[in-house]
Amino acid sequence: MSLPVHLSPFRTYRASRHDQLVSFQLVIEETDLWVAAREDLGQPMADHVRFLRGQIKSYAAIHPQFLTSLEPLEAEARAPEIIRRMCRAGQKTGVGPMAAVAGTMAQMLAERFRDASADLIVENGGDTYLFSTKDRHIGILNMPDQAVRLCVPVAASEFPCSFCASSATIGHSLSFGKADLVVVRAGDASLADAAATALANALTGAEAMDAVLAKAQGWEALGLEGVFTQCEGKIGVWGKMQLAVI
């Protein structure tokens, strides 16, 4: 199930090496994953991706608004775990549940296969969840046409954690703002993904950056740990997002 590094110019970071870990890519319909683990887990991971995607499709067949709503939705009590996580994240941050799909998928895959690999990085279109026994440097793709330049050092004791991104200018995600990039750090990837979308929507220009950073700080009680913002040549940082240069 191993595939070449994605050819998109926005994903050149996937060519980076991670010590002795084995890296592989999984592309299943709209899901495009890059994984680094102690062994090639491609086949069982692919099966689990199909399982999780099947749960989303089945739920959406009965609740079609789940796929299209830009407003928070409440999950049915007996909904699958992936549905409940996405809805909870959307309710906390004021966005639709699909704003959290990539981060939720990354975290649930990492949790499912952690026993097979104590070091495990799952990246889903810029939304990443990590288990690690070593210190890591998490790259921030603030200049997509160049090699990664900025990173956030994370000590081994701080894992697991997630870094999720949203942008109005990079990739295909729907955004109502003008953010070049918003990256959110949190222990919960569903929350980080939904928050990144909400904050990117609110970043309507460089003049809105202070308000966006204040909004992120106000969500600290929900579990947000830090945020990086970039818009119209201005950069803002709050929380556990100490920047270093690669």
Specify which residues 228 forms β-bridges with. Answer: 183, 237
Q: What is the pLDDT of residue 126?
A: 87
Specify which residues 34 forms β-bridges with. Answer: 25, 123
Question: Residues 131, 135, 140, 146: is their CA dihedral positive or negative?
Answer: negative
> Tokens 């990079």 map to which residue?
170
Rounded Cα distance, 224 and 11, in Å: 25
φ, ψ for residue 143, nearest 5 deg: -130, 85
Q: What is the DSSP letter of 74?
A: P
Short-list 10, 32, 8, CA closest to 170: 10
CB of 117 closer than 8 Å to CB of 133: no
The full set of domain ranges for the chain reads 9-245
Tens digit of each residue's pLDDT, the chain (246 residues): 333 444 444 455 555 555 689 999 999 999 999 999 999 999 999 999 999 999 999 999 999 999 999 999 999 999 999 999 999 999 999 999 999 999 999 999 999 999 999 999 999 988 999 999 999 999 887 655 555 578 999 999 999 999 999 987 665 565 666 888 999 999 999 999 999 999 999 999 999 999 999 999 999 999 999 999 999 989 999 999 999 987
Rounded Cα distance, 241 and 201, in Å: 20
74 φ/ψ sector (left φ>0, alpha ψ -120 to 50, else beta): beta
Helices (H), the chain: 42-62, 65-68, 81-93, 101-113, 189-202, 209-218
Q: What is the pLDDT of residue 143?
A: 59
To the nearest 10°, report the CA torsion of 173, 5, 20, 133: 10
Q: What is the pLDDT of residue 149?
A: 77
DSSP, collapsed to helix, strand or coil, labels residue 128 as: strand
CATH of 9-245, one of 3.10.520.10, 3.40.50.800, 3.90.1170.50, 3.40.50.2300: 3.10.520.10
Angle at 78 between CA 59 and CA 55, to 5 degrees: 30
